Amino acid sequence: MQRVQAALASAGDFFRRRRRVIIIGGAVVAVIGAGAVFLAVQPTAPPPTVVEQAPALATPVAPPPEPKPLQAEAEGYYEPGYQFTVSDRRFTRLTLRPDPSVMFAWTGTRQEFACAEATITPRTVRLRCEVERVGVMVIDGRFVTRSATTRMDAPAISAVITVRSMRDEVVYSARDNFVWRPAQ
C-alpha cells in the first residue's frame, strides 16, 4: 500500500508541475476535435459544372443535296412505249404538268387535247380526256418511279389506256408504260 501511496503522490506532483502544459494541450485537442466535427457536419458543395464547346470546324459544312422532285410534280411529257392509232390519229404523248393533256399526230399535224378531269397524286394518275371526233380517252395508272428521272430505260408510269367512241364502244384498251422527258 505504501507503494500505491507513493505512486499517487508522485502522479499528483507530476500534474502540479505540468498543469499548464496539460491544460493547453487539452484545449488544443478540444479545438481540433470541434473543428473536425464542424467540417464533417457541413454540406458538400455540388461539383463544378463543366461546359464543353464543340471544336471549331476548319471548313464549312456543305448543305444537304436538294431532293429530286416527285415524278408527279415534274414538268415535262410522257411518251408511250407503244404508239397506237385510233380514227387515223396516232397517240404520241401525255403531259401532266403544267396542264394535263394528250397529243395525237394526224396527217402531218399535231393536235393536243386538254384533260378536263385529272387526279394526280404522288402515287397514281387518272385522266379523262375528250378527243375531238374520236371519243373519250381514260388513262388510269400509277407512278413506277417516285422521283423524277431522265433514264431512258426506266418507265415512269404504268397505266391502262382505254379509248371509247362517241357511242360508248371500246375502241382501244391496253396497258402501256410511259417514259418521262423533261420540258423543252
pLDDT in tens, the chain (184 residues): 777 777 777 767 776 777 777 788 888 888 888 887 777 777 776 777 777 777 666 677 778 777 777 777 888 888 998 888 888 889 999 998 888 999 999 888 999 999 999 999 989 999 999 998 889 999 999 988 777 766 666 788 899 999 999 999 999 999 999 888 887 7
Residue 49 domain flag: no
Residue 20 domain flag: yes
Residue 103 domain flag: yes
Predicted confidence at residue 58, as pLDDT, reads 64
On whether both 81 and 164 belong to a single domain, the answer is yes
On whether both 78 and 144 belong to a single domain, the answer is yes
On whether both 160 and 75 belong to a single domain, the answer is yes
Q: At 10, which helix (H) or strand (E)?
A: helix 2-17
On whether both 33 and 79 belong to a single domain, the answer is no
Domain count for the chain: 2
On whether both 82 and 164 belong to a single domain, the answer is yes
Range of the domain at 18: 2-41
Residue 32 domain flag: yes
Residue 15 domain flag: yes
Which residues are CB-contacts of 136 (< 8 A; sequence separation ≥ 6)? 128, 129, 130, 163, 164
Residue 54 domain flag: no
On whether both 162 and 110 belong to a single domain, the answer is yes
How far out from the chain centre does Cα 31 lie? 68
Residue 138 domain flag: yes
| Cα distances (angstroms) measured from residue 85 to each of 51, 72, 106, 130, 152 | 75, 26, 10, 16, 23
Predicted confidence at residue 75, as pLDDT, reads 84
Query: pTM score > 0.75 for this model?
Result: no
On whether both 37 and 101 belong to a single domain, the answer is no
Predicted confidence at residue 139, as pLDDT, reads 94
Residue 10 domain flag: yes
